[in-house]
Amino acid sequence: MLDSFPTLKNIPFPSIVRDELQTLQINLGYRCNLQCKHCHVNASPQRKEMMSRENINLLLDFVNKYQIKNVDLTGGAPEMHPEFKFLIETLSSLGVNIIVRSNLVILAEPDYEHLIDLFVKHNVTITASLPCYLQENVDKQRGKGTFQHSIDVLNRLNSRGYGRVDTSLQLNLVYNPQGPELPPPQNQLEQDYKAFLKKHYEIEFDQLYTITNIPIKRFGSMLMSKNKLHDYMQLLKDSFSPDNIQGVMCRTLISVDWQGYIFDCDFNQMLQLPIIRDQQPLHISHFEPQELKEIPIEVAGHCYGCTAGQGSSCGGSLS
In whole angstroms, give the CA distance from residue 189 to residue 194.
9
DSSP per-residue letters across 141-165: HH-TTHHHHHHHHHHHHHHTTTT-T
Classify residue 315: in a domain, yes or no: no
What is the predicted pLDDT for the residue at 53? 97
Nearest to 249, CA basis, from 212, 287, 281, 282: 212
pLDDT of 305 strictly over 80 = yes
Here the CATH number for the domain that contains residue 16 is 3.20.20.70
Tell me the percentage of the chain whose pLDDT exceeds 90.
89
Classify residue 318: in a domain, yes or no: no
Number of domains in the chain: 1
Q: Which residues are 125's β-sheet partners? A: 99
What is the predicted pLDDT for the residue at 42? 77
- pLDDT tens digits for range 149-193: 999 999 999 999 999 999 999 999 999 998 899 999 999 999 999
Helices (H), the chain: 5-8, 53-65, 84-93, 115-121, 135-142, 146-159, 186-201, 217-225, 229-238, 266-270, 304-307
- pLDDT tens digits for range 110-130: 999 999 999 999 999 999 999
Classify residue 313: in a domain, yes or no: no
Q: What does the pLDDT average to over 64-92? A: 97
Classify residue 158: in a domain, yes or no: yes
Q: What does the pLDDT average to over 246-262? A: 96
| Total-model pTM | 0.95
What is the predicted pLDDT for the residue at 239? 98
Classify residue 112: in a domain, yes or no: yes
Q: By three-state DSSP, how is residue 109 classified?
A: coil
Q: What does the pLDDT average to over 80-104? A: 97
Range of the domain at 68: 5-307
Classify residue 180: in a domain, yes or no: yes
Average pLDDT of the residues of the chain: 95
In whole angstroms, give the CA distance from residue 185 to residue 233.
20
Tell me the percentage of the chain whose pLDDT exceeds 70.
99
Q: What does the pLDDT average to over 246-269? A: 96
pLDDT of 72 strictly over 80 = yes
Given pLDDT bands bounded at 50, 70 and 90, which one contains residue 38? low
Given pLDDT bands bounded at 50, 70 and 90, which one contains residue 142? confident
Would you tell me the crossing angle of helices 146-159 and 135-142 to the nearest 10 degrees? 110
Classify residue 317: in a domain, yes or no: no
Classify residue 314: in a domain, yes or no: no
DSSP per-residue letters across 206-267: SEEEE-PPPSSHHHHHHHHHTT-HHHHHHHHHHTB-GGGGGG-GGGTEEEE-TTSBEESSHH
